[in-house]
Amino acid sequence: MADLTTTLGPLTLPNPVLTASGCAAAGRELHQFFDVARLGAVVTKSIMTRPRSGRATPRMAETPSGMLNSIGLQGPGIDSFLEHDLAWLAEHGARTVVSIAGGHTDEYVELARRLRGHPAVSMIEVNISCPNVESRGQVFACDAIASSRVIGAVRRAADPGQPVFAKLSPDVTDITLIARACADAGADGLSLINTLLGMAIDTDTMRPVLGGVTGGLSGPAIRPVAVRCVWQVRQALPHLPILGMGGIRSGLDALQFILAGASAVSVGTAVFGDPLAPVRVLAELDAELDARGFGSLADAVGFAHRDVAALV
């Protein structure tokens, strides 16, 4: 059995498999199937300052090898989150990565301040795939300057003991430019990737399938895009820790991300079909590391980059 301990910047985790934001709420539902404290950490649904009801229905559509969602950032708001969700996670001994989202830099800052001093918060993941209200709705993560402003402001406002990871969108021409801007602004690491913007048309009604018209594509269909993003960012910024995700359903899928340069992975869409997916992926990853003679997960991180000059 390989040593599965991993680090995400200053944070040490007993193993590298986490949930993905928005796919396991705040852990309660998954806890019916397995003890969520067994995971590296639970990543919570992106929380905003105030309660929100999300976007119009229908909000989900199946696609070949994936799904589209336009949930919007439905959630209870930070007050209720702290009182009910974070308290529940702490009670159950789960390490928690709190995902935060906003429409203004000030909202992200307020959220980071509210999380200060909470021992149950292991890390903050900043979901910057949100429309920037001050910039005609342009998604923060699609603009290096807007990304760096939010991440810099969150890093300054957050508890110095809580690592801040920026979660990037793949819907950009060069993800390494955004990655570098976030790193320069003080990000302790990056979460790669959020969903890809997609759309489906119902050919009976001849209208968009989703109430929100467009939605985020996730699941195995996006895995090669996600692995490519992890690879490119690892090459550009070899010392910046990466939490990888996108279509992971098995230990072998997770291993691709680790070999590309991720120090840990999140399992998202897979839990809708198989609630045990995160713990199964963990066991399978362990076996695959053993089968390849890795004594520790750390030895496998970025292993595919060795002798890379020979590959290009």
> What does the binding site for ligand FMN look like in residue numbers (CB under 6 A)?
20-23, 45-46, 69, 71, 73, 99, 127, 167, 194-195, 216, 218-219, 222, 245-248, 267-270
Choice between 212 and 294, CB closer to ligand FMN: 212
Contact 67, 61 (CB under 8 A): yes
Beta pairing partners, 69: 60, 216
Residue showing tokens 């999300």 = 54
* Distance in Å, CB of 98 to ligand FMN, minimum: 11
Residue showing tokens 């991720």 = 262
* Distance in Å, CB of 271 to ligand FMN, minimum: 8
* Euclidean distance between CA atoms 78 and 83, whole angstroms: 9
* Distance in Å, CB of 122 to ligand FMN, minimum: 16
* Distance in Å, CB of 249 to ligand FMN, minimum: 8
Among 102, 100, 59, which residue's Cα sits nearest to residue 81? 100
Q: Which of 130, 142, 182, 229 is catalytic?
A: 130
Two tokens, residue 305: 């980059």
Please state the residue numbers annotated as binding site.
21, 45-46, 69-73, 127, 167, 193-195, 219, 246-247, 268-269
Question: Does 229 qualify as catalytic in the annotation?
Answer: no
Among 211, 225, 220, 166, which residue's Cα sits nearest to residue 69? 211
- Give the nearest residue (CB) to ligand FMN: 22
Please state the residue numbers annotated as binding site for substrate.
45, 69-73, 127, 194-195
Two tokens, residue 132: 């920037």
What angle is formed at CA 166 by the lines to CA 220 and CA 232, rounded to 5 degrees? 60
Choice between 99 and 132, CB closer to ligand FMN: 99
Choice between 185 and 254, CB closer to ligand FMN: 254
DSSP-assigned letters across all residues of 66-131: EEEE---S-B--HHHIIIIIIHHHHHTT--EEEEE--SSHHHHHHHHHHHTT-TTEEEEEEE--SE
Choice between 5 and 250, CB closer to ligand FMN: 250
Please state the residue numbers annotated as binding site for FMN.
21, 45-46, 127, 167, 193, 219, 246-247, 268-269
**Catalytic annotation, residues:** 130
